[in-house]
Chain A
Amino acid sequence: MRRRLAFLLIQSLERAMPLDRRQWVAALAREIEEIPDDSAALGWAFSSAVGMTGDAMMKHTVPTLARWGLATATSLFAVSQLFPTVLTLAWRHGNEGLLNSLGATMVSGSYHRVVPIMGRMSDLNLFLCAGTAALFVVAALQTLRRKANAATWYAVALFIVVVQVLFHQSNAIYLDIFTSRELMMTGVFLVPLSGMLALMVWLGRQDYPASRLR
């Protein structure tokens, strides 16, 4: 079962890769047959999928402009993730100046809507928001440095976001509508991020010059 899963993963990877990478993925697939242990074979396939995808994304698929765009959008998304943490901490410490500057004004209705949510925000949720923001910042930096492990940082950050939504669903939903200002900022961040991801998928389907493989 594990070996079949490993082959399935590698075959999917081969289809998704640009032409000049496919022979390398075929080489990776061939090596699976030489690995005696099924779990090790699955580990080999998983590592190959992460490493080769990251490498293709950073070095070949994503041109400089798109990489800068992706890094910028990711950094802004990180700020957006940090927003509820800062807002809640400001609320807990009674920092009205910071609350006002973040859009949770004392006079508007949004503040009253936000109060019970800030009161319910658990420490774990705050930690997850801040942690995800840090991971997105690292992912953005690694993207700019053309490091293949950027894909891993994105994957870990997105995994935490999913966990956060699953286990703190009510809070997570409210976090997205914390204040009108934050909602607007999130929208502004998500549009370029989505555009960059779509561009990456489109570029990933283009063919590249044949490699030096003989």
Chain B
Amino acid sequence: MPRTPNASPHTRAVLSALAAQPQAWRYGYELSKETGLKSGTLYPLLIRLSDQGLLESEWRPSVQAGRPPRHAYRLTAEGLALARNRAVSLEAQPRSPSELPA
């Protein structure tokens, strides 16, 4: 059975975090804290999403004076559509018995 691309829990967590504020540029450290992913997991994911055209990235000037620019990320329109699609499909999935209300 073929695997659904970008359907892993880690990827979904990153897509969900980015889709929460679609217009805002997000930074790696913030995303790591928000998703609970380590840098070694998060950045390969970001690279893959960028290579697929789902994520845009740019160096943005730092808010703090005298500091070098930071690399920031946000979803493209395609990425946002995928994130919403993943969120919808997740909600549509049947819940496990332990998650159902008593």
Contact = CB atoms under 8 A, between A and B. Distances in A.
Contact of B39 (A44, A211, A212): A44
Q: Is the interface of A mostly helix, strand, loop or mixed?
A: helix
User: Which of B39, B46, B57, B68 has its CB near the most chain A CB atoms (within 10 A)?
Assistant: B39
A45 B29 CA distance: 12
A51 B40 CA distance: 4
Interface stretch (B13-21, B48-56, B77-85, B86-94): B48-56
A214 B58 contact: yes
Nearest to B31: A31
Highest count of chain B CB atoms <10 Å: which of A31, A43, A213: A31
Contact of A28 (B28, B41, B57): B28
Nearest to B52: A212
Contact of A24 (B38, B47, B53, B67): B47
B29 A47 contact: no
A30 B68 contact: yes
B94 to A, nearest CB: 28
Interface in B67-81: 67-71
A211 B40 contact: no
B70 A30 contact: yes
A26 B71 contact: yes
Given A51-B41, A211-B51, A31 B56 contact: no
A46 B38 CA distance: 10
Interface string A3-39: 0000000000000000001011011101101110000
Contacts of B28: 27-28, 31
Contacts, number: 76
A9 to B, nearest CB: 12
Contacts of A47: 38-41
B58 A52 contact: no
Contacts of B70: 27, 30-31, 34
Contacts of B51: 211-212
A51 B53 contact: no
Given A55-B47, A211-B50, A213-B57, A31 B29 contact: yes
B40 A50 contact: yes
A52 B44 contact: yes
B39 A51 contact: yes
9 tightest CB-CB pairs across the interface, nearest first? Answer: A51-B40, A27-B71, A47-B40, A55-B44, A47-B38, A48-B39, A31-B29, A47-B39, A31-B28
20 contacts: A23-B71, A27-B28, A27-B57, A28-B28, A30-B70, A30-B71, A31-B39, A34-B70, A43-B38, A48-B39, A51-B38, A51-B44, A52-B40, A52-B44, A55-B43, A148-B44, A211-B50, A212-B50, A214-B56, A214-B57
Given A50-B40, A54-B44, A55-B44, 18 more contacts: A28-B39, A31-B39, A34-B27, A34-B29, A34-B70, A43-B38, A44-B29, A46-B40, A47-B39, A48-B43, A51-B38, A51-B40, A51-B42, A51-B44, A52-B44, A211-B51, A212-B53, A213-B57
